[in-house]
Homo-oligomer: A and B are copies of this chain.
Amino acid sequence: MSEQSIDFEIQARDGEARAGIMTTLRGVIETPVFMPVGTAGTVKGIRFEELESPELDARIILGNTYHLWLRPGIETIRACGGLHKFIGWERAMLTDSGGFQVWSLGALRKITEEGTEFRSHIDGAKCFLSPEISMEVQTALGAEIVMVFDECAPGEASQEEARRSMELTLRWGKRSKEAFDVAQVTKLRALESQGSDTETSAQVANLRYRQALFGIVQGASHLDLRRESLERTVEIGFDGYAMGGLSVGEEKPVMLEVIEEIAPRLPVDKPRYLMGVGTPEDLIEAVARGVDMFDCVLPTRNGRNGQAFTSQGRLNIKNGRYVNDQRPLDEACECSVCRRHSRAFIRHLYQSGEMLASILLTHHNLAFFLDTMRRVRQAIRSGQFAKFRREYTEQLSSGLG
């Protein structure tokens, strides 16, 4: 059916590091890209206007199938014309499949061949999610990029455990693709038959560019399983490829080893997405190994907990040393928070339980992550990535004055 959902083009390389352009119906995304996480339809603590401002300029944000399916529920989102329209965000989005979130519930879930049974974290109600349901929900949400429904193994999973999980993810990956194709056609037909009012026509036009579906490579820390997962996932064929099951308890060198083994072997003409990673250091190291896309809750979650990411490492605003400190969070940062507010003030807000502490720390942290990626792209394009990587990493570990 229909045209390709996203177009991806590599424009510059520097070693394994690559800079490219991902073109979607809802705008152009330069890669490597960091995607702020908007779990329940909001990137916590920040308005969309700020995300769109030239200072942050986030081109794509995440939404979570699991959370949105449970609340407000797919009927509300359908009634409001899809996720973009419901939340009021006109740029690109990616929805996670719910696989990881359900897996994180731990004892609250039961995994079978068919799918995963679990208790809602909201009201304890029994729920069931499968590749087919996830694809139906994600089609209704309407994000530019949809993820297959996968199963994640813990970082320290044994060979046997990791293989079982990887095989299940492969079978679920196939089922995801089949269900996705059916759901896309069904949605298009349903819209076409609804008549020709302007809104429906616009939605039909949108669907001609169908959504993109990304596969997920699993295999825990076992490189042989990771390679096998890679080959068999590529065999199924997706619009892009993600590495899942990293940063879930394994040691950092293990994570980097897996990325180094897998990323460069992923199809060169498709986006490579490292899920749920990571610190600024992690991003740089993963870019050096050929990764194009990232998402992580660190800038937002840690911001709410009083932590600022800075060019000289992390700063904990709770620390008493900042009580009269009139310097900005990061003296090298030019974001609106650093131009205006001192550590002393933000510490006061945090200690007073004021919402503005979270708002300001979230804004600065996102500005820092997004600016880092902007600098990464510039460095790659100018053939200076190795130098940038060295200097950036050195400065990060230099410590705050």
Contacts and interface: CB of A to CB of B under 8 A. Distances in A.
B45 A356 contact: yes
A152 B48 CA distance: 43
How many copies the complex holds: the figure is 2
A359 interface: yes
A354 interface: yes
Contacts of A134: none
A324 B359 contact: no
B348 A71 contact: yes
Top 4 A-B residue pairs of the complex, sorted by shortest distance between their CB atoms: A72-B348, A42-B356, A79-B324, A88-B340
Interface residues of A, number: 40
B344 A76 contact: yes
A72 B80 CA distance: 45
A44 B75 CA distance: 34
17 contacts: A40-B348, A40-B349, A41-B348, A42-B354, A44-B354, A46-B356, A48-B340, A49-B340, A72-B323, A72-B348, A76-B344, A80-B324, A80-B344, A80-B345, A86-B342, A355-B355, A355-B358
A355 B71 contact: no
A397 interface: no
Interface in A111-164: none
A345 to B, nearest CB: 6
A356 B72 contact: no
Interface of A: 40-42, 44-49, 67, 71-72, 75-76, 79-81, 86-88, 323-324, 326, 336, 340-342, 344-345, 347-349, 351-352, 354-356, 358-360
Given A71-B352, A344-B80, A345-B87, A359 B47 contact: yes
Contacts of A76: 323-324, 344, 348
Contacts of A342: 80, 86, 88
Contact of A351 (B72, B80, B323): B72
A38 to B, nearest CB: 10
Given A79-B324, A326-B80, A345-B80, A352 B40 contact: yes
A141 B45 CA distance: 29
A263 to B, nearest CB: 34
Nearest to A42: B356
Contacts of A348: 40-41, 71-72, 76, 86
A287 to B, nearest CB: 30
